[in-house]
Amino acid sequence: MKHSPNSLIPLASSLHVDEARKAISELVQELIQESNAIGDPSDIEIVSLDQAIDRILAEDLLSPIDVPAADNSAMDGFAFDGSCLDINTSEITLRIVGTAFAGKAFNGKIQPGECVKIMTGALMPTGCDTVIPQEMTSATEDLKIGFQQNQLKRGENRRLRGEDLQQGKPAIAAGRLLRPSDLGLAASLGIASLKVKRRLKVAILSSGDELRSLGQALDVGSIYDSNRYSLTGLLNRLNLEIIDCGIVRDEPASLKEAFCAAAMKADVLISSGGVSVGEADFTKQIMQELGDVGFWKIAMRPGRPMAFGILKPVAGNHSARKTLFFGLPGNPVAVMVTFYQFVRAALLQLNGAIQTEPPLMQAISEAPIRKKPGRTEFQRAILGRSPDGKPTVKLTGSQGAGILRSMSEANCFVILGHEQGNIAAGDWVDVALFDGLL
């Protein structure tokens, strides 16, 4: 390891969101390089297509065939030799000599002045290189069609062999987070199973003496633990293996025991709670014993306090790998926001996925939004449309970090940049949709 999070960032400073992302990505890349040096063949699995959704492709999927396998028609119409389009005439007349269906080719020979009625996907008859769409022709009673010569060019409406994919060329690149369309593409090539990356093992725990599990009675000052259920849902969206370590008391011995146990079983440990200023002195001490972990203040709202780093292998852990660690805030909304901003991308990177930026769109704010420059804010909101069809967005009421309802009712984040100030009604703002991410 070239550096630790502590040496990357001064503890007293507040990181810009982009600085935190960059530091995390660099450390994850170092961890990947160390793991690759070890070389673990168990990191790749072979799964059937019906089990491959949201898995990460381990190696390029090469096409075993040309797609399409032969020249075919791109639409319903009439196939003919396009050389007749070079003749200096305004109208062309062709005689229909047969029909070609998808899966049932026309096997006759085409002579000059002849054509074949052809359906979408049907093989192009020998000698034909052009298709005139049916709606662009006029028919006669003696099985002839006519059309204007300037309506198309030679070779139009014909799909060439190998036009989509060539045999031996990559159909899907390694690192793809497999989507339904990818599974359909693999099936269209006759491929029944795929090599994918092993699912990361992610341990989660919540720390706090005030937390109670579902089914327990609430005494004065206690609350139910919601964070593990939010994190479970977020991790399930990524199809990862989850190890639920439950609730851990706010005391050094219990925390150290839980962290060590999680590090023995997991590639990644995500904790929530115990990282705020004044609450984490003993947590910092434990982290210094167990690995290289920095406690950060991030210039964002919600989710300002966060811990991140590496837990070193503990005694009894047969893997030489280190465990990636995220210490998220305790507030329920802050947990989801920091997961969205930092953890999700790191998990995908560690699991070998191609890195892509979450898509953003712009919408018109329906009401003013208060915002202080000097921090990035992630407001929970509902995306809709105005009567004239323009995208609009409105906040889901109070935006406190502990108000989980603000997330439950929302379908997007309004992202207000580091240097932005107050937003007026009617201003355009950046919006990140939840679908596919949360």
Judge if 429 and 308 occupy the same domain.
Answer: no
Single out the residue of 402, 437, 395 nearest to residue 416, CA to CA: 395
Is the separation of the CB atoms in 199 and 239 below 8 Å? yes
Are residue 373 and residue 329 in the same domain, yes or no? no
Q: For the packed helices 281-290 and 252-265, what is the interaxial angle rounded to 10 degrees?
A: 40
Judgement on whether residues 346 and 412 belong to the same structural domain of the protein: no
Beta-sheet pairing, 412-416 with 376-385: antiparallel
What would the two tokens of residue 256 be?
């150290």
pTM: 0.85
Q: What is the dihedral of CA 24, 29, 34, 39, to 10 degrees?
A: 130
pLDDT at 438: 46
Q: Are residues 208 and 325 in the same domain?
A: yes
What integer pLDDT is reported at residue 276 of this predicted model? 65
Give residue 420's domain range.
361-433
412-432 pLDDT tens trace: 999 999 999 999 999 999 999
The residue among 356 and 381 whose pLDDT is bigger is 381
342 in the same domain as 230: yes
60 falls within a domain: no
* DSSP strand pairing (14-15 vs 291-298): parallel
Higher pLDDT: 129 or 277? It is 129
For residue 400, is pLDDT > 90?
no
Residues 306 and 296 sit within 8 Å (Cβ to Cβ)? yes
CATH code for the domain in which residue 246 is found: 3.40.980.10
- Report the Cα 67 to chain-centroid distance in Å: 26
User: What is the per-residue pLDDT for 91?
Assistant: 87
Paired tokens of 189? 């090539």
Per-residue confidence (pLDDT) for residue 404, from 0 to 100:
82
pLDDT band at 279 (very low <50, low <70, confident <90, very high): low
pLDDT tens for residues 306-332?
999 998 876 655 455 789 999 999 899
**To the nearest 10°, the Cα dihedral for 339, 308, 225, 255?**
160
| Per-residue pLDDT, 1 | 42
Residue 121 belongs to a domain with what CATH number? Answer: 2.170.190.11
Q: Which of 10-19, 80-89, 231-240, 248-257 has the lowest mean pLDDT?
A: 10-19
Q: What is the band of 10 on the pLDDT scale with cuts at 50, 70, 90?
A: very low
Please tell me the predicted confidence (pLDDT) of residue 315.
Answer: 60
Give pLDDT, residue 314.
64
> How many domains does the chain divide into?
3
Return the CATH number at 429. 2.40.340.10
Share of the chain above pLDDT 70, in %: 92
The pLDDT score that the predictor gives to residue 356 is: 80
- The domain boundary, picked from 159, 190, 224, lies at 159
